[in-house]
Amino acid sequence: LSLDNALHHALERNEFLLFYQPQIDISKGTIVGMEALIRWQHPEHGLISPLNFIPLAEETGLIIEIGEWVVRTACLQNKAWQDMGLPHVQVSVNLSGFQFTPNLAPSILAILKESRLDPRYLELEITESTLMQNTEATLSTIKLLNDAGLNFAIDDFGTGYSSLSYLKRFPISTLKIDQSFVRDVTTDPSDAALTGAIIAMAHSLNINIIAEGVETIEQIDFLTRHHCNTMQGYYFSKPLPAEQFSRLLAEGI
Ligand code: G
Ligand code: G
Ligand code: MN
Ligand code: NA
């Protein structure tokens, strides 16, 4: 499967699309956010997962253009839904560490201006490894964007090699508890202890917490008892094409 050459043409051929997965506030029963997740609609191979082309995009440098397309599409879509009178919610976009160039902040600020989306409705998801590489430049980029009103979330929290000290150095709004902890949270005492500790730490640092990969009512019970009220996972909805997601946003969960 030679995707390398095809990936070069995928943008101009308009073959990428975004799916959206809701983030739920369980105490209110409402959608409070959505994560944008890229897919590649390949003419012969069908719908391709980002797992199969993001690494290639990173190797070839195409991640810069693809990443800008993702931010632009997510901002324009969110603004369009707001203008239609749908509930105003934050859209979260995944950033690769390779996107942290000196041009990242100016490019995102230009897209926000162009789309006229209020910056507080855009959240950027980064991983612990992104924070650990090249920290001074990364720190100034994050500070600049945070000063402009954007929020930052740490994705897959707890799975990376990193020092917790970045939680005081960087303006982080949200920690996303990785699915690998949530999966066995009701059966594995270590996962239960780690999840409880992450939630407690986030609360005491005044950082929002969101649990990923929530699939069962037992997981919801555990998380609720530990005061984690924001959740994302197949229990509520898998990632959906834009059209379907807008119906969910209109009708509620
Ligand atoms: O549903 P899912 O198969 O979309 O996601 C698989 C992986 O791809 C996840 O780790 C997710 O963070 C990543 N991913 C999804 N969309 C994007 C994107 O737009 N940019 C980057 N860098 N990663 C993404
Ligand atoms: O790395 P990141 O957290 O961005 O990746 C999110 C990934 O998790 C996507 O591939 C998304 O489709 C997937 N996902 C979302 N909800 C669930 C879930 O409840 N169970 C599982 N197994 N995967 C999920
Ligand atoms: Mn993510
Ligand atoms: Na994650």
* Structure confidence by residue, pLDDT tens digits, 50-64: 999 999 999 999 999
**In degrees rounded to 5, what are phi and psi of residue 122?**
-120, 125
Best residue for ligand 2 mutational test, from 179, 183, 237 (most atoms within 8 Å of Cβ): 179
Of residues 168 and 120, more confidently modeled: 120
Q: Is residue 74 part of a domain?
A: yes
**Type of residue at 201:** M
Q: Is residue 6 part of a domain?
A: no
Please state, in angstroms and rounded to a whole number, the distance separating the CA atoms of residues 234 and 219.
12
Q: Which residue has the tokens 């897959």?
A: 156
Q: Is the CB of 70 under 6 A from ligand 1?
A: yes
Question: Does the pLDDT value for residue 248 go beyond 80?
Answer: yes
Take atom 3 of ligand 1 and give the residue whose Cα is closest: 49
Separation of CA 35 and ligand 2 centre (Å): 10
Take atom 1 of ligand 1 and give the residue whose Cα is closest: 37
Question: Does the pLDDT value for residue 169 go beyond 60?
Answer: yes
Best residue for ligand 1 mutational test, from 37, 56, 130, 212 (most atoms within 8 Å of Cβ): 37
Question: What is the number of structural domains in the chain?
Answer: 1
Give the angle subtended at the CA of 127 by the CAs of 121 and 130, to the nearest 5°: 110
Q: Is residue 172 part of a domain?
A: yes
Domain extent for 174: 61-238
Q: Is residue 55 part of a domain?
A: no
Q: Is residue 132 part of a domain?
A: yes
Question: Does the pLDDT value for residue 114 go beyond 70?
Answer: yes
CATH number for the domain harbouring residue 159: 3.20.20.450
Q: Is residue 29 part of a domain?
A: no
Please state, in angstroms and rounded to a whole number, the distance separating the CA atoms of residues 216 and 183.
9
The pLDDT tens digits for 11-28 are 999 999 999 999 999 999
Of residues 171 and 2, more confidently modeled: 171
ipTM of the complex: 0.97
DSSP 17-82: EEEEEEEEETTTTEEEEEEEEEEEEETTTEEE-GGGTHHHHHHHSTHHHHHHHHHHHHHHHHHHHH
pTM: 0.97
Q: Is residue 201 part of a domain?
A: yes
Q: Is residue 34 part of a domain?
A: no
Question: Does the pLDDT value for residue 199 go beyond 70?
Answer: yes
Arithmetic mean of pLDDT, 199-224: 97
pLDDT band (50, 70, 90) for residue 1: low
- Among positive and negative, which fits the CA dihedral 69, 178, 19, 1? positive
Tokens for 101, please give them.
């160039």
- Tell which atom from ligand 2 comes closest to the C-alpha of 235: 19
pLDDT band (50, 70, 90) for residue 4: confident
Q: Is the CB of 127 under 6 A from ligand 1?
A: no
Of residues 44 and 162, more confidently modeled: 44
- Among positive and negative, which fits the CA dihedral 34, 36, 37, 41? positive
State the average pLDDT for the chain: 96
Separation of CA 69 and ligand 3 centre (Å): 17
Segment holding 245, helix H or strand E: helix 242-251
Take atom 8 of ligand 1 and give the residue whose Cα is closest: 50
